[in-house]
Amino acid sequence: MSAGSEVVQLPHAEESHVAQPHGDQGMNTALLGMMLFIGSEVMFFAGLFAAYFNARAAADQWPPAGLEDVVHLNPIVIIATVILIISSFTMQWGVWRIRKGDRTGLNRAVGVTLLLGIVFLAMQAYDYFLLVSEESFGINSGIYGTLFYTLTGFHGAHVFGGVIGLLVVFGRGIAGQFSARHHIAVEAVSAYWHFVDVVWIALFIVLYILH
């Protein structure tokens, strides 16, 4: 189905459905589900952050002796951070486009976001590679290494999950499945992507600025 063709309006099952009276009021049910899921993910990262501050509060010196300069602001991290923040804006641009019914705009925006997400993951992998090969800094290098790799690794896993979601949205967008009225998957993946971005900003501040 191309963007310009006539869309045949099928009758809505919900409209005659006795048991879904609230379906057309307030937040969409699927979006509510995604928001609740994000709420649980916030608690997951809260647990990991709690472990970080617990270890940091108990340590005599932070970062621990011998590891003072291992994790520091370097061009890779700064560029990766900028890329992830930009990707949040491109995602939101896509949401705004499809709300106006612009499918091509949505596909462009999601494509760019997808690309930025993959570049972020590649840069994180390269950063890990440098840390392990040049600094011999691994997950077993004491609590500092454990925390660094657990926090950033689980964030990376969530970015990967977001990339999968973006792939689905991109594929469905290419197939022309979204319209100004029906694009809840775009809204949900967008909310998740913003969440992943916010977690990275918190991680960036804690690991690189406040260290």
Near another protein by CB under 8 A: residue from 9, 10, 21, 209 = 21
Dihedral angle computed from the Cα positions of residues 146, 161, 192 and 85, in that order, rounded to the nearest 10 degrees: 70
Q: How many helices (H) and strands (E) does the chain have?
A: 5, 0
CB 166 within 8 A of CB 117: yes
Tell me if 9 contacts another protein by CB under 8 A.
no
Residue 72, SS3? Answer: coil
Near another protein by CB under 8 A: residue from 2, 5, 9, 40 = 40
Tell me if 206 contacts another protein by CB under 8 A.
no
Tell me if 1 contacts another protein by CB under 8 A.
no
Q: Would you say 26 or 75 has its CB closer to another protein?
A: 26
Q: Which helix (H) or strand (E) holds 148?
A: helix 142-174
The count of residues in the chain is 211
What span, in angstroms and rounded, lies between the C-alpha atoms of 84 and 194?
Answer: 10
What span, in angstroms and rounded, lies between the C-alpha atoms of 43 and 76?
Answer: 29
Tell me if 45 contacts another protein by CB under 8 A.
yes
Near another protein by CB under 8 A: residue from 3, 54, 78, 104 = 54
Amino acid code (one letter) for 68: E
Near another protein by CB under 8 A: residue from 2, 8, 10, 19 = 19
Q: Which of residues 56-115 bind another protein (CB under 8 A)?
A: 58-59, 64
Q: Which of residues 106-165 bind another protein (CB under 8 A)?
A: 138-140, 142-147, 150, 154
Residues contributing to the site for another protein (CB under 8 A):
16-23, 26, 29-30, 32-33, 36-37, 39-48, 50-51, 54-55, 58-59, 64, 138-140, 142-147, 150, 154
